[in-house]
Structure 1
Amino acid sequence: MNAWSRRVVLGALAGAATFEARAQGAGPEAAWPSGPIRIVVPFAPGGSTDAVARLAAPGLQRALGVSIVVENRGGAAGSLGTDVVAKARPDGLTWLLTFDSHAVLPALVPRLPFDLRQDLEPVTLIGGAPYVAACRPDKPFRDLAAVVAAAKARPGSVTFATPGNGTIGHLVMTLLGSRAGAPFQHLPYRGGGPAVNDAVAGHVDMVVGSAALLAPQVAGGTLRPLVQFGPQRLPGLAQVPTAEESGFPGLQAEAWWGVFAPARVPAPVVARFHEALVGAFRDERVSQQITEGQQARLVLAGPQELGRFVDGQVETWGRVVRENDIKAD
C-alpha cells in the first residue's frame, strides 16, 4: 500500500468519526465552507489549466454557495503556485487545480519546498487530452515528416514553444528529437497562452501543447496541427496522424488536469469538494465545452485513482528529465 493509499484509508476512518461527531453538532467542517474558496492555478492566465478552472467555477459556486476565486500563481514549472497550496491552512478554502507537469516537479526542481505525497491530498482527476504540435499555416511544414527533415538538415534550427521547461510538451519533443536524430530548439514560455500567441504571430516555428490548449486556434485556422501524441486520433482531429502512425511507436504524451488539497484537510470536506467538482463538470454546457471545444475527455475520478495515476506519471516523465538533465525555467 503506497503513502497515498494509506492516507486515503486513514482519512476515510477519520471521516467516519467526523460524520458521527457532526451528527452530534460537532466538528469544524460542519460549517464548511465558511468563506470564499480560492482555486490556485500555478500557471499564467490563458492556458488550458486556467480555462478548466474557470469553467468549473460557476458550478462550484452554485453547489457550495460561496464565491469561487481563480488565482493564477505562475512560475518555476508550476511549483510556486503549488507551494502556496501545500503551505495553506487545511481549512478547505484553498485548492490546487494543476496540470500534468505537476508529476515532473520532483525530478525537475532541485530542493522542491514541498513533497507531492506528504503535503498535498489528491482530490479529483478531471480528465485529459493528447499533446499536439502545430504551426502557423504559412510555415513550410505539412506533417511530422517535414518537421523532422528540416531539423535533420539544420540541427537546432526548428524552434518549438511550450508553457515552460520540463512540461510534458518539452519532454515529448526531447524524446522525439532523440529518436529521430533531429534535435529541436526549445523556447519555454511562462504559460500556454503566451506560447500560443507567439506561434500564431509566427515568432516560433511550432507550439506544442494539449489539444485543449490549441483547439481554439486550430478551429479558427490560425494554427495547423501537424501531429498528435495520443494513442489514437481524436474525432476532432481525424485528419491528423498520431506520432505512432508517423513512425514512432510508443511515443505518447497526454495532458491531464487534477485537483489537490493541502494535507490534513478533513476527509469529509475533500469528499464534498470532489462531489461539487464532478457536478460542475457534468453540467451539459461545461462538459460539451471540454469534450468538443477543447478536445479533451472527462474522467472525474476520485482521490485514490488520482494518487495512483500521478505515481505512474512521476516515474515515466521523471526518468526523461533525469536522463536529459532538464532543469526548470
Structure 2
Amino acid sequence: MTHLSRRALLAAAGATLALPALAQSWPSGPVRIVVPFPPGGSTDALSRLLQPHLQAALGQPIVVENRAGASGALGTALVARSAPDGNNWVLVFDTHAVNPALIPTIGFDTERDLTPLLLFGTAPMVLTAHRTRPWRSFAAMAEAAKARPDTLTYGTIGNGSLAHLTMALVGKAAGLQLVHVPYRGGGPLSVAAVAGEVDMPIATRPAIGVHIDSGALMPLAQTGATRSPSMPDIPTLVESGVPGIDARAFWGFLGPAGLPAAIRQRMEAALRSALAIPEVRARVIGLGIDLDPQGEAVFGPFLSAQIATWGRVVRDNAIRPD
C-alpha cells in the first residue's frame, strides 16, 4: 500500500468516525426554517406546530421565517444558496414542483441544489360547486358544461397553481371548455368561494373545507387517484369518469445540497419524533394532510416525478405565471 493510499484511507476512516461527533455538536446555534409563503397558510401552520418540538430535540432556538414571493421560489432560493451546515431549511408546498417550468428565471436547480429530507404527506384537492348551482355530481356539471362551452367558471389560488394545472388536464380528458378564474392565494379564493363568485372553487381541504362542512360548497370530486381517508365519501375524478388523474398537494422539508449525513439523520429523526406525538399528529391531520412521513429515498423520486408531470402540463398548455 502506498503512502498516499494509506493517508486516503486514514482520512476516510477519520471522516466516518467524525459523523457521530458532528451529529452531537450540531446545531451550535439557531436553526432557521424558511416558510416561503405569508403567515396563515398550511406551510406556516405546520412549521410553527413543529417548532417547539424541534427546539426541544435539538437544544437550540428554531426560528420560523416567512419569506414569501414567486409562488414559494424566493424563500426556497435562500435555502438552495445557503451553506450545507444544517442551519437553514425550507418547508415547501406543491408549487415547489411547478415552479421550475413556470418560472424559467428561478435562479436555482430544484433537484440538484436541495436535499429532499422528508415528505410529510399529501392531500387531494376538492372540486366543489357553490350551493346555489344545480349540480350535485361531476357528471351533472360536465353535462351542463358541454351544453354551454366557455361559460362555467372554476376558481383557484392562482395562475399556474396545481389546481389550475389539474383542471387543464380534466378539461382535455373530459372534453370540457371551462373558464379559469385565478385568485391571489387561498384567502381571496375562500372569500370568493363562499360568496358564489365562481361556479366551482377547487382547492385543498385546508383552504375550503370549512365551507364544505357548512354546506356553502357541495363537493363534486377529489383529485387523488384514491379516496383520501379524510374525505372517504367524496368520489375521485377517476371514479367520476375522468381517467389518469392523480393530483395531490404535498408538504415537504428540504435543506441545501451537500448536507452531511449526520445532520440529515439527526434532523429527520427530530422531525419524525415530533410527528409521532399524538397531539402533533392529530393537529397535522387536522390541517387536511394525509400524514405519511417518507424520507429522502422516497421523497426524492416522488419530487422528480412531480416536477416532470407538472412541467409537461405547463408546457403543453403554454401556462404563464400571473
Normalising by structure 1, we get a TM-score of 0.85
Quote the offset at 1:157 in angstroms.
Answer: 2.8
Structure 1 position 140, deviation (Å) = 3.5
1:125–1:235 distance in 2 versus 1, CA, 3 Å: closer
Change (3 A) 1:209 1:70: farther
Change (3 A) 1:42 1:211: same
- Alignment partner, residue 75 of structure 2: 81
Matches within 5 A, 1:150-161: 150-161=144-155
User: Once the 2 structures are TM-superposed, how far is the Cα of residue 151 of structure 1 from its aligned partner?
Assistant: 3.0
Alignment of 1:8-27 (within 5 A): 18=15, 20-21=17-18
- State the partner residue of 1:42: 36
Query: CA–CA distance in 2 between the matches of 1:320 and 1:187?
Result: 18
Q: Distance in 2 between matches of 1:158 and 1:69?
A: 44
**Paired AA for residue 18 in structure 2:** A
Q: Which residue of 2 aligns with 1:288?
A: 282
Structure-1 residue corresponding to 2:308? 315
Given the alignment, which residue of 165, 172, 190 partners 1:171?
A: 165
Q: 1:145 to 1:22 in 2, by over 3 A?
A: closer
Match of 1:248 in 2: 242
Q: Secondary structure at the match of 1:187?
A: strand
Shift of 1:276: 0.9
1:208 and 2:202 aligned: yes
Corresponding residue of 1:5: none
Residue 196 of structure 1 corresponds to which residue in structure 2?
190
Q: For residue 129 of structure 1, what is the aligned residue in structure 2?
A: 123
- TM-fit CA distance, 1:278: 0.9
**Corresponding letter in the other structure for 2:76:** T
Could you say if the C-alpha distance between residues 139 and 68 of structure 1 is closer, same or farther in structure 2, counting changes exceeding 3 Å?
A: farther
Structure 2 spans left out of the alignment, 5+ residues: 1-10
Identical aligned pairs, as a percentage?
Answer: 47
Other-structure match for 1:324:
317
Change beyond 3 A, Cα 1:53–1:185: farther
Is residue 304 from structure 1 mapped to residue 309 from structure 2 by the alignment?
A: no
User: How does 1:141-156 map onto structure 2 within 5 Å?
Assistant: 141-156=135-150
Show structure 1 runs of 5+ residues with no match.
Answer: 1-13
> Does residue 225 of structure 1 match 2:219?
yes
Residues 254-296 of structure 1: per-residue CA shift (max 9 Å, x gap) = 11111110123322112111111111112111212333x2443
> Would the alpha carbon gap of residues 58 and 195 (structure 1) be closer, same or farther in structure 2, given more than 3 Å must change?
farther
Query: Contact (CA 8 Å) 1:120, 1:263: kept in 2 or not?
Result: yes
Q: Which secondary structure state, in structure 2, belongs to the residue aligned with residue 116 of structure 1?
A: coil
User: Which SS does the other structure have where 1:237 is aligned?
Assistant: coil
CA contact (8 A) 2:102 2:319 kept: yes
* RMSD, aligned α-carbons: 2.5
In 2: Cα distance, 1:15 partner to 1:247 partner = 57
SS of the residue 2:95 aligns to: helix
Could you tell me how far apart the structure 2 residues matched to 1:36 and 1:230 are? Answer: 38
Say if 1:49 and 1:145 are closer, same or farther in 2 by CA, change over 3 A: farther
Cα deviations by residue, 1:212-245 (Å, 9 ceiling, x for unpaired):
4433443344433221112222344233211111
Aligned-pair distance for 1:118?
2.0
Amino acid at match of 2:89: W
Name which of structure 1's ranges 217-226 and 282-291 shifts more when overlaid on structure 2.
217-226
Deviation at 1:97, TM superposition (A): 0.7
Tell me, in whole angstroms, the C-alpha distance in 2 between the residues paired with 1:107 and 1:101.
Answer: 11
Q: Secondary structure at the match of 1:318?
A: helix
Deviations 1:69-126, CA, capped at 9 Å, x for gaps: 3333333222122112212233322211111221222222113200012211110011
Instruction: Give the aligned residue type for 1:201.
Output: A
Q: Give 1:167's aligned amino acid.
A: S
Structure 2 vs 1, CA of residues 65 and 159 (structure 1 numbering), >3 Å: closer, same or farther?
A: farther
Q: Kindly tell me the number of residue pairs found equivalent between the two proteins.
A: 312
Normalised TM-score (structure 2): 0.86
Output the CA distance in 1 between the equivalents of 2:13 and 2:313: 41
State the shift of 1:19 in Å.
5.7
2:95 to 86, 97, 101: 101
Alpha-carbon distance change, 183 to 65 in structure 1, aligned in 2, over 3 angstroms: farther
Does the 8 Å CA contact 2:222/2:234 hold for their aligned counterparts? yes
Q: Distance in 1 between matches of 2:14 and 2:166?
A: 46
Residue 21 of structure 1 aligns to which amino acid in structure 2? A
In the aligned structure 1, how far is the partner of 2:56 from the partner of 2:88? 17
2:19·2:261 contact (CA, 8 Å) conserved in 1? no
